[in-house]
Structure 1
């Protein structure tokens, strides 16, 4: 279940909102050195480790080569515990795990936003872009800001993070950089996910908070970094994209479905339009959405259009030109990467996400 290790902090590396990188010398079960690893600590959960501290690590995913970004995770600084939390908050996330956290939820009693959200039932036609992977987030934004702008020159965009991938929003360096650069007006963490600017119980209240608390013009819904998939028809966390379409529609939003497209993935089920998108939008989504179909060139573009046509009975397909989007993507304030592939290595993936952003921007005019 968990591979436990103790270690000593020998260096402190990069920091971003909610997270700090460490270099840790790891000791095995018998106390022998196992070398050094990169570790990640969330100071709000475990305190701020310093050089010389003993830290308790979870190295399971690192040892298995899973998608933790190459990190061991700091579970505790046992010899120097952080102070008890102060302030309001009764929303418990990561519930009944050893690291369950109590947070101030936007929609809970005692919140300054409780009255605004208690009877809220609509997002007032707000475009809601739904994507499978976290890596689509900056690409969608590139398309949004390269498209038709809001009257003030730039729409306010909120990221609504679901709990299919990482639970702490702090894990995402992209979120931190996008907020710092003004590309996001805030992050709403929903379900068991936590660490956003606003905490919400469900995707529904997350969308309502994006609209009525963060005053967003557009929301982007996607899971946090990481993606759970088993290679089966239904066993993948991206199924939630279909459920997000339903949530956006029932709240009076305008769902825009971003297709997961790849020309660089070596797995056939993800080449062209991924089976994730075909299942989530073709089987799970019961409400109609606008599906952004990128006008990609050549035989590959024809393949994408043909596969997307399978969704035409349930959704409204919108062909979106991609001229100028490559340049917009190249200007992203954060590094573009999906499954280890860059913009140059899988341009189709990022162009498809940017096309969804371009389509959402057209709904604002």
Structure 2
């Protein structure tokens, strides 16, 4: 290993010199290590790498990943929990679920079955998270916002520099399903929502997958289908589902222009419970018409809610993290980030009326 580039919560980014086996192999690669799983590599260490993400040219996951530091293995895991995530893989993680017997939150969660009307914003992509947070805090400053991370993208929450950068703007992160590394762990979205409400004492929650997502370009072959299932979970637990459609005026792919087909499938076919379907009231005219036309068949059961969003640009600019989706920033895809912020504003509007965060 040549050098440590930088670190953030749960991750260490490295420059690694590669022992080339083929002429086309790079001389050095950018690599990522999760010290809790593999130990903390230092300059001069030998490391075993997985180069698959680099070979595929993945944008979000374009790192070599450290599998092991063979000459300096980490200490044995000493965790009071017995929940296993990334199960039956070489790097399976042992975690303490928020609601299991050894957890200090067991008493709060053992009998918890209801969200008590808590608003929950459900979005497709991880990149929507900071924009939703900005919109919510603009409506209810000081509100306690929890992030419930599903396992459709990255499994380790540590991969997300966005989470590290949002810091005190979040009450905490709950990693659900096979995802791990949050402030609290849960076995599924339902228990994750309850952990957010009763463990993190959240006023509002945001549900999205971790960084990255899987898609085959087909109608049903994408990880964002889980957004519709999350709407159902929120309703089943007595929460208030707020759906944030993926809207873009800049995506070069027709299936994601206007309202993404991901949102139309997740909220139109998978979500059986009604939700507030939020769109910016001030979209450009050439985008507003197609967006409304695409979402009209989803209402009912959903309710289309138009929320002013252009004035949220200042709140988005003030975020401590960089906005980016599919390589596009706010200037390149205003509609995407303003749509997510509008959903956050709408979800938190009731909190403001109740005095939360005042």
Q: Give the drift of 1:211.
A: 0.5
The C-alpha deviation readout for 1:238-257, integer Å capped at 9, x for no partner, is 00000000000000000000
Q: Give the drift of 1:113.
A: 1.5
Gaps of 5+ in 1: 1-8
Return 36-45 or 298-307, whichever deviates more: 298-307
TM-score (norm 1): 0.94
Structure 2 residue aligned with 1:278: 264
Matched, 1:335 2:322: yes
Q: Is the 8 A contact 1:292 1:319 kept in 2?
A: yes
CA 1:71–1:216 in 2, change beyond 3 Å: closer, same or farther?
same
Structure 2 residue aligned with 1:261: 247
Q: Give the drift of 1:145.
A: 1.3
Matches within 5 A, 1:127-142: 127-142=119-134
CA 1:303–1:34 in 2, change beyond 3 Å: closer, same or farther?
closer
Matched, 1:171 2:159: yes
Q: 2:185 aligns with which of 199, 202, 209?
A: 199
Q: 2:147 aligns with which of 136, 159, 181?
A: 159
Q: Is the 8 A contact 2:53 2:61 kept in 1?
A: no
Q: Give the drift of 1:33.
A: 7.1
TM-score (norm 2): 0.96
Structure 1 residue aligned with 2:356: none
Structure 2 residue aligned with 1:125: 117
Q: Is the 8 A contact 1:25 1:33 kept in 2?
A: no
How many pairs align?
351
Return 274-283 or 309-318, whichever deviates more: 309-318
The C-alpha deviation readout for 1:216-239, integer Å capped at 9, x for no partner, is 000000000001001100000000
Q: 1:345 aligns with which of 317, 320, 332?
A: 332
Matched, 1:298 2:285: yes
RMSD over aligned Cα atoms: 1.4
Secondary structure, aligned partner of 2:197: helix
Q: Give the drift of 1:67.
A: 3.3
Q: 2:306 aligns with which of 303, 312, 319?
A: 319
Secondary structure, aligned partner of 2:27: strand
Q: Give every structure 1 segment of 4 or more consecutive aligned residues whose post-TM-superposition deviation is greater than 3 Å.
A: 29-34
In structure 2, C-alpha distance between the alignment counterparts of 1:73 and 1:165, rounded to whole Å: 16
Q: Is the 8 A contact 1:188 1:200 kept in 2?
A: yes
Structure 1 residue aligned with 2:295: 308
The C-alpha deviation readout for 1:278-323, integer Å capped at 9, x for no partner, is 0000000010101102121212122212212121122011111113
Q: Is the 8 A contact 1:61 1:68 kept in 2?
A: no
Structure 1 residue aligned with 2:36: 44
Q: Give the drift of 1:68.
A: 4.1
In structure 1, C-alpha distance between the alignment counterparts of 2:226 and 2:25, rounded to whole Å: 42
Return 22-31 or 67-76, whichever deviates more: 22-31
Matched, 1:91 2:83: yes
Gaps of 5+ in 2: 354-358
In structure 2, C-alpha distance between the alignment counterparts of 1:193 and 1:10, rounded to whole Å: 30
